[in-house]
Every structure is written in C-alpha cells, then in structure tokens.
C-alpha cells in the first residue's frame, strides 16, 4: 500500500494488479454459463475442457496443426 499525504488528509491507495484480459473474459464466460444454464462450476469446467479437446482434435484432422518436420533434443 502507498500512503499519500495531501492537504486534506492521508489517502491509502492499493496498487492495481495486472489482469490478463483473456483470463477475465474466460471467467466472465464461466459466470454467464453458470447463470444461464444453472450449471455447477465443475460442469462448466467440464464443458470448456470437452470443447477444447474437440477443437484440438478437429484441427489435427483437418491438417491445420501438424507435427513439426524436425526436432532437436538438447542435452
């Protein structure tokens, strides 16, 4: 906390934490899903995980994401 003295008294300011906008968007989406579908937080997490797995599987099937042609093992 930082205390700054001004003519009218002392005010305390807490430094703002840096928030990742994508993380904030994800948390907001989770809350909306919970409210709209009356789902438990664990159900929402499962829904998101399944969607991520489906998207990754579809990317590999369509050829968008492929294994690298070369790789190097460092010692």
What's residue 19's pLDDT?
A: 80
pLDDT band at 69 (very low <50, low <70, confident <90, very high): low
Q: What's the rounded mean pLDDT across residues 20-43?
A: 89
Residue 13 CA to residue 43 CA, distance in Å, equals 38
Residue whose structure tokens are 């989770």: 30
Task: Let me know: does 4 contact 10? Beta carbons within 8 Å.
Answer: yes
- Per the DSSP assignment, residues forming a β-bridge with 3 are 12
What's residue 61's pLDDT?
A: 72
Predicted TM-score (pTM) of this structure: 0.50
Which backbone phi and psi does 12 adopt, to 5 degrees?
A: -110, 130
The residues spanned by each domain of the chain are 19-61
Helical segments of 1-75, H only: 21-37, 41-62
pLDDT band at 33 (very low <50, low <70, confident <90, very high): confident
Residue 52 CA to residue 54 CA, distance in Å, equals 5
Is the pLDDT at 70 greater than 70? The verdict is no
């Amino acid at each position: 906390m930082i205390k700054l003295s001004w003519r009218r008294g002392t005010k305390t300011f807490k430094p703002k934490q840096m928030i990742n906008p994508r993380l904030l968007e994800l948390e907001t989406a989770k809350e909306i899903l919970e409210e709209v579908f009356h789902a438990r937080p664990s159900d929402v997490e499962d829904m998101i995980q399944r969607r991520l797995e489906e998207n990754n599987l579809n990317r590999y099937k369509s050829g968008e994401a492929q294994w690298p042609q070369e790789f190097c093992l460092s010692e």
